[in-house]
Amino acid sequence: MSLDTPQTKEVNHQVNPDRWKKVIILLTLINTVLVALIAALQTDASTRSNTASAESQYFAILLSSELLFQGMQGDYDLNTYAAVLINSQEALVLEYTALQRQVADDLTGYQSAMSEAAAAQARSERAAEFSVFLSNPRYAPESEFDLPDMDAYMAARTAVTNTLLEKQNTAADTYHIWNGKADSYVAVLTILAIAFFLLNIAQSTRPGLRLFFGTCALLVMGIASLWTLIILLQ
């Protein structure tokens, strides 16, 4: 004969205020492990983001320095080439002036203009020795009627800069990806803190509500776990 009459059940229910407590403790422990795992993932993401951030800043420093160097080198090269052009033009104009003086039977003027033309030509030739556009076979014109290969010069100059810029961009992109993940993990940890709160309430309340709060905590833990999976797969 069974003793489980409705009255007995009620009495049993009343004398078992610790119902679901062990489940709640188990959930709390599982939540602790989840927090530890996600904290580890957060540290990993944060570490990767910090490394990429440092690399990005380092390459940005190198890049800005390289740009300054390129500017100084470019100034020097172009000023040297300008000296070649100006002096050679001056030599031509002075020779033309000398011819005019000769036509005008001005021998002194002719000699003076020719001397100055020779000086300008000498300056132009000396400048040409310094000019990378005329002395470097990579950029030098093929004939005296051609211009130096400015495109090749610009390509050579920007190659280093572009490589550094590419590295800097890659590091910056990596930083953004891992920083986003690290931030998301912090959000997940906050959600798990809510689960802790719910589990705490569940532990201290009566059995009926304990089940309700325990279920809510389990749901929150499920959401946090799902979100973690999504972050991992990103």
Partner 1 sequence: MSKLDSPISLRFELLIAITIALVSLTTAVAAWRTNAVGSKASDVIQQALIDALKQEALANENWRLTYEQAGYARDYEIALAGIEALDASEDPHAMELAANLHTFLLPGLQPLGDPFISDRRYHTQEQTFDIALRFEHLQAEDPDITGLDPQASLSLAGRHWSEQRWLVTGTVLMVTSLFWLGLAQTSGRKFQLITFFFGFGLYLLGVIWLVGVEVVFMLINRGGL
Is 82 a binder of partner 1 (CB under 8 A)? no
What is the spatial distance between Cα 109 and Cα 94, in angstroms, rounded to a whole number?
11
Is 225 a binder of partner 1 (CB under 8 A)? no
What is the spatial distance between Cα 123 and Cα 61, in angstroms, rounded to a whole number?
40
Look up residue 73 and give its two tokens. 């080198």
**Stretch in the footprint of partner 1 (CB under 8 A) among 32-40, 92-100, 202-210, 219-227:** 32-40
Is 216 a binder of partner 1 (CB under 8 A)? no
Q: How far is CA 200 from CA 21, 39, 67, 204, 221, in A?
A: 11, 21, 59, 6, 14
Site string for partner 1, 87-106 (x = CB under 8 A): x-------------------
Question: For helices 150-204 and 207-233, what crossing angle results, to 10°?
Answer: 170
Biggest CA-to-CA distance, the chain: 150
Tokens 């100006």, located at residue: 86
**116-175 binders of partner 1 (CB under 8 A):** 116, 118-123, 125-127, 129-130, 135
Q: Give me the residues that bind partner 1 (CB under 8 A), please.
A: 22, 25-26, 29-30, 32-33, 35-37, 39-40, 43-44, 47, 50-51, 54-55, 57-58, 61-62, 64-65, 68-69, 72-73, 75-76, 79-80, 83, 87, 108, 111-112, 114-116, 118-123, 125-127, 129-130, 135
